[in-house]
Chain A
Amino acid sequence: MGKLKYALFTGCTAKQSTPEQMMSTMAVAEKLDIELVELTEASCCGASHLQDYDDFLSLVLNARNIAYAEKHGLTMVTICNTCQLNTAMTKHRLDNNADLKARVNEKLEEVGLVYAGTSKITHFLYAIIDDFGLDKIKKMVVTPLSQFNIAPFYGCHNIRPSELQNETHDTPENSYNPTSLDDLIIACGGNTVDYEQKNKCCGFHAELQAPKVAATLTGNAIAGAMDGNADWMVTPCPLCHLKLDTQTHHASVAVGREVSLPVLHMQQMIGLALGCPPETLGMKHHVTKVDFV
C-alpha cells in the first residue's frame, strides 16, 4: 500500500469550537503517515440549515467544495458527520440527476470551476477502516485502552440515511446496529459499552429552537452511557461532541439527574492508544474535564 493521501474538508467547527479535534486529527494523521491536504478554499457545508433556507444555493456551494477536491484528484475526507452528510448528499443528488448537475455547473462556470463527480467523499472514520485498516492500527497500539469502558456515540449523520451512507464507504454499516466505532474502540484495546442511545440523536440541530428537546436527548445519551458503566464516551462528530461535552448542565436539568462524562473525539482516542503526547491531542480544550490522562 502506498502512502494514503486525502483532501481534508475540516468544516467550520474543527477550526472554531473544537480546536482539540483539529489538533488530534493532524497528530493522528502524522502517526499513521496519512497525508491530508487541507481544502482552504472550502466554504461551510450549510450544516443542513442553509439547505432549509435555500436548497439550490447549498448544492452550488457544496459542489464547489467537492470541485476543489477533484482538482487535487483526491478523495475528500470529512471530520464532521454533518459535513459528511451534506457533502455526500450533494454528490448523490448531482450524480443521479443530469439536469440538476448541469444547472449547478452553469453557476460554477461563472467562477471557472466544474463539478465532475470524480472524487469520493468519506468520513475519516471510514477512511481509517476501509483504507488504512483496523488490523494495522491494532499492531501500532502502544498504550492499549484496556482499563477503560468506552461508550461509542455514532452520531446520526454518519449512519442515516443508511442507503446514502453506505454508498460512501466499503465496510457496510447498519444504522440499527452499527459497528464501526465499536470496532475502532476494540482495535485501540478498549472495552466497548453497549447502550440504547449509541446510535440515537444528540439533539444538536434543534438546540436553539427546541432547547428542552435537545437537552433531553443529550441527557438520555450520557445517562445511557453512565448506566452502561462507561468511563468515557467517544464520537466521530464534533457537533455531538459539543452537545455532550459542553451542555451537561442543561442536559442534567432536562433529565432530572446529574449527567456528565468525559467525551473524546475518535482522533483523540486513537492518539492516546498510539502514544501521541496528550498535549498534541488538545485535552485542555474540553469543558467536561478529561480526568484520566
Chain B
Amino acid sequence: MSTTTINTQKVNFNVFRFNADEDYLPYYENYSMDVTSEEVVLDILNRIKWDHDGSFSYRRSCRHGICGTCAIKVNGRVTLACKESMTDMIEIFGNELTIEPLSKKRAIKDMIIDKADFWEKHEAVTPYLDTEIDENPTAENLVTPAQANALDEADLCIQCGACHYACPVVEISDAFMGPAAFAAAYRFEADVRDGNDSRLTDVNQMGSGVWDCVKCFECAEACPKEINPIEKIGKLHNMLFQSGQANSNVATRHAVGFEKSIKRNGVLDEGGLVLYSELAGIVKHVPVALKMFSKGKIVPPWGIIKSDNLDEIQKLVKSSSTAKF
C-alpha cells in the first residue's frame, strides 16, 4: 500500500479586492497561508472567505470543472480554480501568488466580473443546432463516429471564458468576437445535423470578422478543456476558402498571396506580398518602407534568391492545392 505524504508550504497571496458599489479603485489584500500539496486554487478562495474575510466574493458551483464559473487569474495565468492544483501554481510561479479576476476592467466585486460581452458574442454566432425538424421521423438521425469526430472536441466547451479573457485582441478591441465564440461557431458548422447556411458568412462579417486573430495561442494555452480555439479559427478560415465564401479583403489576399509567392519563388517575396494584400492601401506603409529600404531591409523582386529545385515546389503547389479564391 502506498502512502501519500502531504507537504505544506507557506504562500503569500496578493488578492485583488474591489467593490464597484463602494470603491473608487481596486486594491490588493495580502494573506499568508499554509498550503497543502493536495489543495486546488478554489480551496484557497474558500479559505480566504471562511477564515479571513466573509465579504470576499467569487463564483463557483460544481467544483468539478463543469459549470465554468470559477475561472480567475493567478499571476496573469487564467485558471479554472476548481481544477488547478496549488502545487502546480507554486512550481511555476513560486510562493508569491497574485489572485485576480479574469478581467480587471470588468470587475464588479473581487473575483466576480461582468461577463456580458462574452455572452453577447457567444449568442451572436447561433450556438445551437439550427435545422428543420421532421415532427414525424421514420428513421433515426444517425451520426457516424467520423462525423462526430469532426467536431474536434469543440463540443466540450463549458463557456468558462478563460480563453476569451486571455485573448489580447479581445482586451484591445471590442469588435473582435473572441476565441470562444469562434470555437462555438465552428462546433455547429462542423455538425452534420446543422442546417444553418449563413452562419459561416455571418460570423465572418460580425464585428471585425474572423481574420483579426494575432495567432498568439494564448487561448489554446488557457482552455481547461483543451479545445484549442485558435485551431478552430484556422478551420473557419479553411472552410471559408474551401466553400468559396471568402471575400476579398486584406487578410484573405494576404493568405492567398503566400501561395502565389511560393509558386513564383519558393520563398516569400515580402514586399510583393504586402503590395498584393493591401492594393491601394499600400500608401500607408510607404514611410516605414522607405526607412527599411535605407537600412538595406527591402529586397527588390529581382534580388530575391529563389529556392533550389523550384520545379518540385511548383509541381506540389499544383497537385496539392484544395482551396479556392
Establish whether residues A19 and B296, one from each chain, have CB atoms under 8 Å apart when the complex forms: yes
List residues of chain A with CB within 8 A of the CB of B299.
15-17
Interchain nearest-CB distance for A52 vs B (Å): 4
**Residue A50 is within 8 A (CB to CB) of chain B in the complex:** yes
Establish whether residues B221 and A162, one from each chain, have CB atoms under 8 Å apart when the complex forms: yes
List residues of chain B with CB within 8 A of the CB of A108.
316
Q: For window 276-306 of chain B, which residues contact chain A by CB distance below 8 Å?
A: 277-278, 284, 287-288, 291-292, 295-299, 304-305
- The dominant DSSP class at the B interface is helix
Listed stretches B24-32, B34-42, B128-136, B167-175; interface member: B167-175
Listed stretches A57-65, A126-134, A181-189, A224-232; interface member: A57-65
Q: For window 52-103 of chain A, which residues contact chain B by CB distance below 8 Å?
A: 52-57, 60-61, 64
Total interface residues on B, CB under 8 Å, equals: 72
Establish whether residues B262 and A43, one from each chain, have CB atoms under 8 Å apart when the complex forms: yes
List residues of chain A with CB within 8 A of the CB of B258.
44, 46-47, 49-50, 53
Total interface residues on A, CB under 8 Å, equals: 65
Given the complex of chains A and B, what is the CA–CA distance between A45 and B250 in angstroms?
20
Establish whether residues A12 and B218, one from each chain, have CB atoms under 8 Å apart when the complex forms: no
**Residue B116 is within 8 A (CB to CB) of chain A in the complex:** no
Establish whether residues A53 and B251, one from each chain, have CB atoms under 8 Å apart when the complex forms: no
**Residue A147 is within 8 A (CB to CB) of chain B in the complex:** no
Listed stretches B59-67, B181-189, B233-241; interface member: B233-241
Given the complex of chains A and B, what is the CA–CA distance between A94 and B211 in angstroms?
26
List residues of chain B with CB within 8 A of the CB of A191.
none
Interface mask (A257-293 → B, CB under 8 Å = 1, otherwise 0): 0000000000000000000000000001111000000
**Residue B320 is within 8 A (CB to CB) of chain A in the complex:** yes
**Residue B118 is within 8 A (CB to CB) of chain A in the complex:** no
Given A15-B267, A46-B258, A57-B317, the answer on whether A217 and B295 have CB atoms closer than 8 Å is no
**Residue A118 is within 8 A (CB to CB) of chain B in the complex:** no
Given the complex of chains A and B, what is the CA–CA distance between A204 and B75 in angstroms?
25
Beta-carbon nearest neighbor of A17 in chain B:
B297
**Residue B270 is within 8 A (CB to CB) of chain A in the complex:** yes
Given A51-B234, A64-B316, A107-B320, the answer on whether A287 and B291 have CB atoms closer than 8 Å is yes
**Residue B266 is within 8 A (CB to CB) of chain A in the complex:** yes
Given the complex of chains A and B, what is the CA–CA distance between A211 and B172 in angstroms?
12
Establish whether residues B291 and A53, one from each chain, have CB atoms under 8 Å apart when the complex forms: no
**Residue A135 is within 8 A (CB to CB) of chain B in the complex:** no
**Residue A48 is within 8 A (CB to CB) of chain B in the complex:** yes
Beta-carbon nearest neighbor of A60 in chain B:
B320
Establish whether residues B322 and A210, one from each chain, have CB atoms under 8 Å apart when the complex forms: no
**Residue B215 is within 8 A (CB to CB) of chain A in the complex:** yes
Beta-carbon nearest neighbor of B169 in chain A:
A213
Beta-carbon nearest neighbor of A205 in chain B:
B215
Given A54-B259, A246-B288, A284-B295, the answer on whether A209 and B211 have CB atoms closer than 8 Å is yes
> Which listed residue, A13, A51, A107, A209, touches B251 by the CB 8 Å rule?
A209
Given the complex of chains A and B, what is the CA–CA distance between A160 and B169 in angstroms?
16
Beta-carbon nearest neighbor of A287 in chain B:
B291
> Which listed residue, A48, A107, A201, touches B316 by the CB 8 Å rule?
A107
Given the complex of chains A and B, what is the CA–CA distance between A249 and B287 in angstroms?
10
Given A206-B213, A210-B169, the answer on whether A61 and B262 have CB atoms closer than 8 Å is yes
Q: For window 32-58 of chain B, which residues contact chain A by CB distance below 8 Å?
A: none
A-B contact pairs, 25 of them (CB 8 A): A12-B270, A16-B299, A17-B298, A18-B297, A43-B262, A43-B266, A46-B258, A49-B255, A53-B252, A54-B241, A57-B259, A57-B322, A60-B320, A111-B312, A111-B316, A160-B216, A196-B76, A201-B215, A205-B213, A208-B250, A208-B254, A210-B212, A210-B214, A249-B287, A287-B292
For the complex of A and B, 4 pairs with smallest distance between CB atoms: A160-B217, A201-B216, A52-B237, A209-B251
